[in-house]
Amino acid sequence: MTESPREITLEFDHKTIAARRWGDPDGVPVLALHGWLDNCASFDRLAPLLGGIDLVAIDMAGHGQSYHRSRDANYNIWEEVEDVIGVSEALGWRRFSLLGHSRGAVSSMLTAGTFPNRVERLALVDGLVPPPARAEEAPENLARAIAQRARYGAVRPRQFTSLAEATEARRNGMFKLSREAARAIVERGTRASADGFTWSSDPRLKATSTGKLTSDQVRAFLESIQQAEIPVRLVLAMDGIEGMPERMRPLLQQFPNITVREMHGGHHLHMEEGAEEIAEWFGPFLRGE
């Protein structure tokens, strides 16, 4: 795969999605979806290691250089399914595989469960299902979501005097990052302002969803994927989201189409020391070998 990506934009339904395209245009089509408050640069280290693949890594709505949803819209995770299908149509892909990290892994799973006839394989990094909610929590959750959307909608993006300052802030966020990894996300995820730099992401991404899936609904998506015989490879970071491997094991044992490998590294291991090992495991799988 070539080491330098090609910058592209994809237009559909009056939306503009920015993306980076790696590799062979005649290779196996793979769409890469990043995590929450990241952007497509999170695949810059992994992408060159995946040969024989036409890899398109997109900035999801509200992230990086892509469009922001209108003021009356939300960033509920299942709404990303529509954008994933829109992107695939803009690329002319009838069938494709998905490479997802964290929130992008959940979006990949939801897309495959919703449109199993469109998805060949899932290669996921430290994410699979959203935290399930109990039905009785719905009223309180909706009230919280409406309040948070109003609050974050009025927030002015944080100002930084330099990219170095923004990089240090990103390094020390919810998940610790190396300086190199943080810099990649920051360079893609900021815009110049009169006083320096601000995040380009939509602050409303921080608002909770207006509705959350229950355990039964989550299972329905996984069962749809299993019934369609879509193979899944899932990397779990040993130093990623606290307690995630332990919480996932009982669920994963019920779905033999999901193969799991635990690897050393933090939540963004595909951007750091885990990239080579992930590529060795995902590359042949995505190529259908």
Asked whether residue 73 is assigned to any structural domain, the reply reads: yes
Asked whether residue 241 is assigned to any structural domain, the reply reads: yes
Residue 195, pLDDT score: 85
pLDDT of 2 over the 70 cut: no
Asked whether residue 85 is assigned to any structural domain, the reply reads: yes
**178 has catalytic annotation:** no
Percent of the chain residues past pLDDT 70, beyond the cut: 99
- Count Cβ neighbours within 10 Å for each residue of 201-224 and write b for 16 or more, e otherwise: bbbbbebbbbebbeeebbbebbeb
Is residue 219 within 8 Å of residue 113, measured between CB atoms? no
Residue pLDDT, tens place only, 40-92? 999 999 999 999 999 999 999 999 999 999 998 999 999 999 999 999 999 99
Structural domain boundaries enclosing 228: 6-133+213-286
Asked whether residue 178 is assigned to any structural domain, the reply reads: no
> The CATH number of the domain where 72 resides is what?
3.40.50.1820
Asked whether residue 255 is assigned to any structural domain, the reply reads: yes
- Greater confidence (118 vs 193) lies with 118
Asked whether residue 181 is assigned to any structural domain, the reply reads: no
pLDDT of 140 over the 90 cut: yes
Q: What is the mean pLDDT of residues 97-118?
A: 98
Catalytic residue, chosen from 88, 102, 200, 201, is 102
Our count of domains for the chain comes to 1
Asked whether residue 275 is assigned to any structural domain, the reply reads: yes
- The pTM for the full model equals 0.96
Q: What is the mean pLDDT of residues 259-284?
A: 95
Asked whether residue 182 is assigned to any structural domain, the reply reads: no
Q: How far is CA 9 from the centre of its chain?
A: 18
